Amino acid sequence: MLVIAGVSIVFHNMSGDSAVGSGSQVALVTGGYDHTIKLWQAHSGVCLRTMQHPDSQVNDLEINPNGQMVAACGYQHIRTYDLASANPDPVMNFENIIKNVSRVGFQENGQWMYTGGEDCTARIWDLRVGRPFQCQRIFEVPAPVNAAVLHPDQSQIIVGGQTGIIHIWDIRTDHHEQLIPEAEASIQDIAIDPEGKLMAAVNNKGNCYVWSLGGSPPRPVPRTKLQAHKKYALRCKFSYDSTMLVTTSGDWSARVWRTSDWSLMRELRHDSQRWVWDAAFTLDSRYLFTGSSDSYARLWDLEKGTLEREYCGHQKSITALAFRDQAV
């Protein structure tokens, strides 16, 4: 390869970028209906690797806290993949699962993993080496689970399901509280801001409900209700600085809301985008990734409202996306 000027140096990093596991790199991972998971070089838009996710679409992706692994969940499958090696196959396969697993996430030290699925449960998988399954936990709810999120204090998992009930499960005591923001509307996603002060949930009517969690004990207090989208909402996420909330939807758009006054900050729309399934902020909350049914992932500059990068390579819809940024 001819190396001329600065651009090539950047490209030189390309091969090194596959060593995401070193923890010094940025990783963007997408997955979807084509049964593959792709690792991208986020700044150039080049696909670095493709991993196989046989027999199932990818419902959710999460990079583990040390950046070595990505967990993917789908129909009857939870798998983890090594991001640092060139292995296209999973390294771990969690079996004996029925139905769709809709969400996966990690405890902040990577000691355990939690999942929520259509078998009406949320589960905690003990990942510690040498003490297998000692602390497995299971939490059963009456309806299929669409959303599960871990509170930043690591002691509660918020589970939302098809009947529209949000369960706040205290892991240590097994106590749980219920919230019903809207009758007969399926909860599609739940998010808690990194400071643990706000909780948002979106439903299949396109509505977004926000609660304050500030008090002690942290009891959710209704804060606001947004008519976020006219159609089915799919995801919601807070930015790292808690100033923004993004909601994505089947109305072919992603919308970014200011958490200060709940006003609409940006509407991210692209002519060919179709359903926007997932989104992720960068660490400085300036950029946002979206993944959509047109099989493209996109990077948007939220300050300028411009489309910065496109990630093309998937054969079918991108339904899940995970991004790990690095502080400098």
CA 57 to chain centre: 15
Q: Contact at 8 Å (CB) between 167 and 116?
A: no
Q: Least Å distance between CB 90 and another protein?
A: 6
In angstroms, the first-to-last Cα distance of the chain is 29
- The encoded tokens of residue 148 equal 């599960």
Q: Least Å distance between CB 302 and another protein?
A: 11
Rounded Cα gap, residues 214 and 198, in angstroms? 7
Q: Please, which residue, 184 or 284, has the CB nearer to another protein?
A: 284
Q: Least Å distance between CB 181 and another protein?
A: 24
Write the DSSP string, 148-212.
EEE-TTSSEEEEEETTS-EEEEETTT--EEEE-SSTT--EEEEEE-TTS-EEEEEETTS-EEEEE
Question: Torsion angle, CA of 19/21/324/121, rounded to 10 degrees?
Answer: 130
Q: Least Å distance between CB 9 and another protein?
A: 9
Q: Contact at 8 Å (CB) between 308 and 299?
A: yes
Q: Least Å distance between CB 212 and another protein?
A: 14
Q: Contact at 8 Å (CB) between 72 and 83?
A: no
294 half-sphere exposure, CB direction, 13 A CA radius: 16
Q: Which residues pair with 253 in a beta bridge?
A: 269
Q: Please, which residue, 205 or 314, has the CB nearer to another protein?
A: 314
Angle at 58 between CA 253 and CA 169, to 5 degrees: 85
Question: Torsion angle, CA of 200/195/137/172, rounded to 10 degrees?
Answer: -120
Q: Please, which residue, 182 or 325, has the CB nearer to another protein?
A: 325
Rounded Cα gap, residues 225 and 84, in angstroms? 42
**Burial category of 291 from C-beta neighbours within 10 Å (exposed 0-12, middle 13-18, buried 19 and up):** buried
Q: Least Å distance between CB 187 and another protein?
A: 24
Q: Contact at 8 Å (CB) between 239 and 253?
A: no
Maximal C-alpha separation, the chain: 62
Q: Least Å distance between CB 19 and another protein?
A: 14
Q: Least Å distance between CB 284 and another protein?
A: 4
